[in-house]
Structure 1
Amino acid sequence: MGKKHVSLEVVNPNAAGIDIGSRSHWVAIGQDAQDVREFGVYTEDYRELSKWLKKHEVTTIAMESTGTYWQNVFSFLVAEGFDVILVNGRQTKNIKGKKTDILDCQWIQKLHTLGLLSSSFLPDSTTDTIRTYSRHRQNIIKQVGATVQKMQKYLRLMNLRLDVVVNDIVGLTGQKIIADFIAGQKSGIELAKHRHYNIRKSEEEIAKALQYNGRKDYYFALKQEWKTYLHLQKQIDETDKEIKKLLKTIIRDDENKKRHTVKKKTISEKTKMPLEIQT
């Protein structure tokens, strides 16, 4: 019995495939050697790429979502009027034999021509912008956590056991004690006077926990980390302002969102009791 041959229908006759790289992109518009070109990652390279694709009447393009290297060329080609789909790398990893950039882009082009690739979900530009701000804020918060751990380490090495007498060394009491200590106050008794009334430990016990051992190297390191902590807090505040400004703009320009926005109640509205009318 002879082998069966299965033919696939061409779905996208004017398709191109792009293998995304960090320093260059390989583009295929067909399966022959002359159908493949390499382009750089500068804007002028994208312009040249667009002209080449239009010259060969390409209308739809598929590319892999490699890191963040795809974002600029993707946005540029979409703005140029091409139908661009972003493909998960798992869909294009079935190529056999020796792997090369040329083979990769031709394989992507072939799969896209046959309609075998599905586009990954991409948020709209507004959602993408909010996501960028949010992810940036999350990264800063992670840096804050690492900085606080270093501060706690240096305090402990100086025999300042702030972590024992307060739950959070960067809480209200902890920040005041650290700031005063860095400003030059080394007396545990004086530092303990920053105790907030909600702290369970007594002022006397806090004073016992804050006995500086005189290590100037750790003191210097703590000052550096404290400056980093304050800087990161400032960055978080600035990011929050940008997010708030963006959300206000989005709500202002969308009537539907305006109707579904809950207005912040004033203090008088929160404390106002409803009147019951008795008949």
Structure 2
Amino acid sequence: MLEESRDHEEIIERVAALDVGKATLMCCVRVPDEDKPGRRLQEVQSYPTMTRSVLGMADHLHALGVTRVVMEATSDYWKPIFYLLEAAGFEVWLVNARDVKHLPGRPKTDRLDAVWLAKVAERQMLRPSFVPPPEIRQLRDLARYRVDLIGARTAEMQRAEKLLEDAQIKLSVVASDIFGVSGRAMMASLIAGERNPRVLAQLARSSLRKKISQLEEAFTGHFTEHHSFLLRTMLARVDQVNHDIAQVDTAIEELISPFAGTAIDRLDEIPGIGAIAARAIIAEIGLDMSRFPTAAHLASWARFAPGVRESAGKRKGRGATGHGNRYLARVLGEAAVVAGKSHTFLGERFRRIARRRGTKRAIVAVGRSILTIIWHLLSDPDARFIDLGADFYDRRLGPERKKRNHIRQLEALGYRVTLEPA
């Protein structure tokens, strides 16, 4: 039976497409021919990517009556062009390069790429990528830089630990965190020239003092001036990165407080989500959920929805999610693991899936659940998070499932079962 299709073949009358490079860009403009109805006029021109040239191109596009400008996401070169044209009042679309692949067997040049992108764009065969507003872009830059700083700090800490191993100092075997108060005091004493294991072990504090004898064994090594110089340099870098992280945290707090203070408080109620994670999530998805019509759209954009591939009536692949926003995936993955250790609905969901399907699938499933909750909280300012409880499955599914299993077992033994309410 034929069904009505909802596709609309609407031609964008005046459109421009940009093939952006580092030094130059190729601009293809397509507009209707006023003298020959139904025909199109086309202009392809190269421009430098310097600000003055881009603004001159914008004036030319305004003169031609262009309403929409489309460009591919090419490294980071698209960003300044996008921002300038956005400020000039154009409807700017950033599209995924995979959606505009050129037909195979045809030559590929910057000129032909711009023409092809313009033809595809004017026929409404593209969908724009999510580009957040300016304040969210600034927040995203800070949040992502914070992640990079933490990675740099972790790398330097690992170098310091390897250096101690090279000197046969086994501090990391005894202490769970060699960069805690006790560990830093011991390393500072090593750098200052102290080599007596008993003196170094006595610097232990709190619960680590229970391991004095083990610490004395751990500090029996061959720590030299060479090791002292390297360790001093590494610890100085760790301290500098800690200072930088604190400054970035302050900048993030100052930037986000005026427009997202209440949103962070509501996201903080979700198990596994803290204030830092809430800021990172808002930095990646923003506050305006109208860009994502449903929670499923947001999960699909974040690649927290397994893809479906079917051929000849058979499902192909293993239902992988694909590569999405790695910064958002990192935060959601950490939140899912933390929630999995809690006595909440999300924690019980994580443990149930992990038992049956493995930890990785549990992380994706619970991460998607968290993302769905976030979408609802940001879509409705009055919505609040309500935990369903760790016993949700037992209350909703447990009794009926147990009843069916017992009846099935008794019938297998030859009994006829009749149930009456107590």
Task: Give TM-score scaled by structure 1 length.
Answer: 0.82
Quote the residue 1:152 is aligned against.
161
Name the CA distance, whole Å, in 2 between partners of 1:19 and 1:216: 56
Q: Cα distance 1:238–1:258, how it changes in 2: closer, same or farther (>3 A)?
A: closer
For structure 1, which segment, 54-63 or 72-81, has the greater mean C-alpha deviation from structure 2 after superposition?
54-63
In the alignment, the residues of structure 1 paired with residue 49 and residue 202 of structure 2 have an alpha-carbon distance, to the nearest angstrom, of: 60
Residues 111 and 260 of structure 1: CA distance in aligned 2, closer, same or farther (over 3 Å): same
| 1:198 alignment partner, SS class | helix
Aligned equivalents of 1:46, 1:251: Cα separation in 2 = 34
Matches within 5 A, 1:27-106: 27-30=27-30, 35-96=43-104, 97-106=106-115
**Number of residues of Structure 1 aligned to a counterpart in Structure 2:** 252
Name 2:25's counterpart in structure 1. Answer: 25
Task: Return the offset for 1:9.
Answer: 5.3
Cα distance in 1 for residues equivalent to 2:137 and 2:119 = 30
**Bigger shift: residues 60-69 or 116-125:** 116-125
Cα shift readout 1:149-205 (whole Å, capped 9, x = no counterpart): 100000111111111110111122112211222233333222212212212652232
- Give the superposition deviation at 1:56: 2.3
Unaligned runs of 5+ in 2: 1-7, 32-39, 269-422
Counterpart secondary structure, 2:18: strand
Q: Displacement of 1:11 after TM fit?
A: 1.5
Secondary structure of residue in 1 paired with 2:206? coil
- One-letter code aligned to 1:57: G
Indicate how the Cα distance of structure 1 residues 181 and 215 shifts in structure 2: closer, same or farther if over 3 A, else same: closer
- Give the alignment of 1:235-254 within 5 angstroms: 235-250=244-259
Q: Which has the bigger relative contact order, CA under 8 A and spacing at least 6? A: 1
Residue in structure 1 matched with residue 241 of structure 2 by the alignment:
232
Whole-Å Cα distance in 2 between the matches of residues 193 and 115 of structure 1? 72
Give yes or no for the alignment of 1:171 onto 2:205: no
CA distance in 2, matches of 1:33, 1:154: 67
- Give the drift of 1:48: 1.7
Shift of 1:58: 1.5
Q: Deviation string for 1:9-68 (max 9, x for gaps)?
A: 562111000012122211111499971122222211211221221232222110011122
Q: Percent identity?
A: 27
SS at match of 1:137: helix
One-letter amino acid of the structure 1 residue matched with residue 145 of structure 2: H
Q: 2:127 aligns with which of 105, 118, 123?
A: 118
User: Which structure 1 segments of 5+ residues have no match?
Assistant: 1-7, 263-279
Report SS of the residue matched to 1:202.
Answer: helix
Aligned residue runs from structure 1 range 195-214, under 5 A: 195-199=204-208, 201-214=210-223
Contact 1:95 1:107 (C-alpha < 8 Å) held by counterparts: no
User: Greater CA deviation, 118-127 or 81-90?
Assistant: 118-127
Amino acid at match of 1:13: E
Deviation at 1:220, TM superposition (A): 2.1
Per the alignment, residue 341 of structure 2 pairs with: none
Residue 221 (structure 1) shift: 2.0
Note if contact 1:158-1:219 (Cα within 8 Å) is conserved in structure 2.
no
1:132-147 alignment, distance < 5 Å: 132-147=141-156
Tell me by how many angstroms 1:214 deviates: 4.1
Task: Let me know the Cα RMSD of the aligned residues.
Answer: 2.7
